[in-house]
């Protein structure tokens, strides 16, 4: 049940059935927006670039303190490979739990807050506000309103922006107990929830050839760069634009000098490159496409005799498909209408999140429940304050429904 004392502060929240009405819930959430922003401010001011382990550790301490205060129970800081993730588990029931998932790391280097200071106006600003510290704040405040929050687990990871290398097993572990996963990444630009995310593969191809003097005995060389060049074109052709599959050769380096034989004068212009590397980013709507590209990439090569290719990497995040999000989206949409907020859409997006990982474990997953704004990973990143109350009301209602508490019809 919604925690009664939480609703006695202002307006009467009781309906004849003893449950708060949707519109009253929305009004109550309006009153909570300042508190959500204050929570977000603390999180934003504690900068947390993914690759800075000390910063992530400090941030995790703060996330743990704030989350424990708000949600009324201590959590656990899970340190995995030096990276700090924070989790809470409410109620020790044997039935499955609803997993509330977020991350506290950002893409912003330390010191960005001096350049993009926190601001709490109609546009809430600060590094990582949209992606996704305001979302973490919404999640904490939503769970706080459900005290006791039995049947909910909360996991806030510290390396999502790196592709979740150290949190992956932890997420899988939580997903194994979960009946549903709610991901508090930002909503789409128009506020839509994220119901499908492309899957991703990442590769690093290492080309080994044989060095030789380009003038005296080029025939003794095996040009790794030429082999790479042929591979780039072959790999790019693996994409399928109409099917939504993109294959982007994204980073290429050859030899010890970055641009071989051309940009670097002198020492390397007359040397057949014996080493080259290529990185490739693949996105696709379904796993079969990722598997097709994976097989094809491993077949690339053979243009230059004497060279060989070693392929590192593979399928990294399986897709989040609409099949897995649809039942949760329907619930969210009916809550949204009951709140008087109109229609709530579902959006397919290219970028992945940890929701891909819960989905790959077969857990119904709904993403994009966090803040609404614009400019994730960009200087103009902001959160639209006016939409926070609706997001909070949606989150608390959805959590209440999924954990077996009826809300507000
Ligand atoms: Zn994010």
- If you write DSSP's letter for every residue of 207-222 in order, what string do you get? EE-B-EETTT-GGG-B
The whole-angstrom separation of Cα 143 and Cα 70 is 8
Question: Residue 320 C-alpha to ligand 1 middle, in angstroms?
Answer: 15
The whole-angstrom separation of Cα 291 and Cα 326 is 24
Q: What is the side-by-side order of every strand in the sheet holding 123-125?
A: 119-120, 123-125, 382-384, 373-374
Question: Residue 191 C-alpha to ligand 1 middle, in angstroms?
Answer: 15
Question: Residue 104 C-alpha to ligand 1 middle, in angstroms?
Answer: 8
Exposure string of 30-42, with b = 16+ CB inside 10 Å and e = fewer, is bebbeebbebbbe
How many CB atoms are located within 10 Å of the residue 77 CB?
Answer: 14
Residue position matching structure tokens 């057949």: 272
The whole-angstrom separation of Cα 397 and Cα 296 is 46
Question: Residue 130 C-alpha to ligand 1 middle, in angstroms?
Answer: 8
Question: Residue 352 C-alpha to ligand 1 middle, in angstroms?
Answer: 9
The confidence score (pLDDT) of residue 260 equals 25
Greatest extent of the chain over all pairs of C-alpha atoms, in Å: 93
Q: Which residues contact 122 (CB under 8 A, 6 or more apart)?
A: 384, 385, 386
The whole-angstrom separation of Cα 396 and Cα 245 is 36
User: Helices 53-71 and 22-45: crossing angle, nearest 10°?
Assistant: 150
| DSSP state, residue 394 | H
CB 18 within 8 A of CB 24: no
Question: Residue 100 C-alpha to ligand 1 middle, in angstroms?
Answer: 14
Question: Residue 268 C-alpha to ligand 1 middle, in angstroms?
Answer: 42
Cα end-to-end span (Å), the chain: 14
CB 113 within 8 A of CB 47: yes
The confidence score (pLDDT) of residue 269 equals 67
Question: Residue 376 C-alpha to ligand 1 middle, in angstroms?
Answer: 8
| pLDDT tens-digit readout, 102-152 | 999 999 999 999 999 999 999 999 999 999 999 999 999 999 998 678 899
For 191, phi then psi, to 5°, come to 90, -5
The confidence score (pLDDT) of residue 148 equals 73
How many CB atoms are located within 10 Å of the residue 87 CB?
Answer: 19
Distance (Å) of CA 241 to CA 104, 236, 353: 34, 11, 22
Question: Residue 368 C-alpha to ligand 1 middle, in angstroms?
Answer: 10
Question: Residue 358 C-alpha to ligand 1 middle, in angstroms?
Answer: 15
Tens digit of pLDDT at every position of the chain (409 positions)? 333 333 333 333 344 343 456 789 999 999 999 999 999 999 999 999 999 999 999 999 999 999 999 999 999 999 999 999 999 999 866 567 999 999 999 999 999 999 999 999 999 999 999 999 999 999 999 999 986 788 999 999 999 999 899 999 999 999 999 999 999 999 999 999 999 988 888 888 888 888 888 888 888 888 888 888 898 888 888 888 777 776 666 555 443 222 222 222 223 568 888 888 888 888 888 888 889 999 999 999 999 999 999 999 999 888 888 889 999 999 999 999 999 999 999 998 877 899 999 999 999 999 999 999 999 999 999 999 999 999 999 999 999 999 976 433 2
Question: Residue 356 C-alpha to ligand 1 middle, in angstroms?
Answer: 12
The whole-angstrom separation of Cα 341 and Cα 380 is 27
The confidence score (pLDDT) of residue 266 equals 29
Residue 124's nearest CA partner among 26, 31, 38, 30 is 38
Question: Residue 254 C-alpha to ligand 1 middle, in angstroms?
Answer: 32
The confidence score (pLDDT) of residue 249 equals 66
Question: Residue 185 C-alpha to ligand 1 middle, in angstroms?
Answer: 5
The confidence score (pLDDT) of residue 388 equals 98
Question: Residue 45 C-alpha to ligand 1 middle, in angstroms?
Answer: 17
Question: Residue 298 C-alpha to ligand 1 middle, in angstroms?
Answer: 31
Question: Residue 271 C-alpha to ligand 1 middle, in angstroms?
Answer: 44
Question: Residue 44 C-alpha to ligand 1 middle, in angstroms?
Answer: 14
The confidence score (pLDDT) of residue 248 equals 65
The confidence score (pLDDT) of residue 18 equals 38
Distance (Å) of CA 57 to CA 47, 174, 371: 11, 21, 24
Q: Which residues contact 264 (CB under 8 A, 6 or more apart)?
A: 257, 258
Question: Residue 1 C-alpha to ligand 1 middle, in angstroms?
Answer: 30
């Amino acid at each position: 049940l919604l925690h009664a004392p939480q609703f006695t502060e202002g307006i009467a929240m009781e309906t004849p059935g003893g449950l708060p009405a949707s519109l009253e819930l929305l009004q109550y959430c309006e009153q909570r927006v300042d508190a959500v922003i204050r929570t977000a401010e603390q999180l934003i001011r504690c900068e947390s670039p993914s690759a800075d382990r000390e910063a992530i550790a400090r941030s995790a301490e703060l996330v743990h303190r704030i989350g424990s205060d708000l949600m009324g129970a201590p959590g656990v800081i899970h340190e995995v490979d030096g990276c700090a993730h924070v989790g809470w588990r409410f109620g020790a029931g044997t039935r499955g739990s609803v997993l509330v998932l977020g991350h506290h790391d950002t893409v912003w280097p330390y010191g960005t807050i001096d350049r993009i200071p926190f601001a709490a106006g109609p546009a809430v600003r600060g590094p990582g506000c949209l992606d996704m510290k305001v979302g973490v704040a919404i999640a904490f405040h939503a769970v706080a309103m459900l005290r006791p929050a039995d049947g909910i687990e909360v996991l806030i990871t510290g390396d999502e922006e790196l592709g979740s290398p150290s949190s992956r097993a932890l997420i899988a572990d939580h997903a194994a107990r979960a009946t549903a996963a709610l991901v508090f990444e930002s909503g789409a630009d128009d506020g839509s929830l994220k119901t499908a995310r492309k899957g991703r593969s990442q590769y690093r191809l290492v080309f080994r050839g044989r060095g030789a003097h380009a003038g005296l005995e080029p025939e003794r060389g095996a040009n790794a760069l030429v082999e790479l060049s042929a591979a780039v074109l072959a790999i790019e052709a693996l994409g399928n634009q109409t099917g939504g599959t993109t294959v982007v050769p994204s980073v290429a380096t050859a030899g010890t000098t970055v641009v071989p034989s051309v940009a670097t004068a002198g020492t390397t212009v007359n040397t057949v490159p014996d080493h080259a590397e290529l990185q490739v980013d693949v996105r696709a709507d379904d796993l079969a496409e990722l598997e097709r590209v994976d097989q094809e990439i491993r077949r690339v090569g053979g243009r230059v005799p004497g060279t060989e290719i070693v392929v590192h990497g593979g399928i990294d995040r399986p897709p989040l498909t609409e099949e897995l999000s649809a039942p949760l989206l329907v619930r969210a949409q009916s809550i949204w209408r009951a709140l008087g907020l109109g229609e709530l859409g579902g959006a397919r997006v290219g970028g992945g999140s940890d929701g891909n990982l819960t989905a790959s474990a077969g857990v119904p997953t709904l993403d994009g429940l966090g803040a609404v704004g614009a400019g994730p990973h960009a200087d103009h990143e902001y959160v639209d304050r006016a939409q926070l109350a609706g997001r909070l009301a949606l989150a608390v209602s959805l959590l209440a429904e999924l954990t077996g508490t009826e809300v507000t019809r």
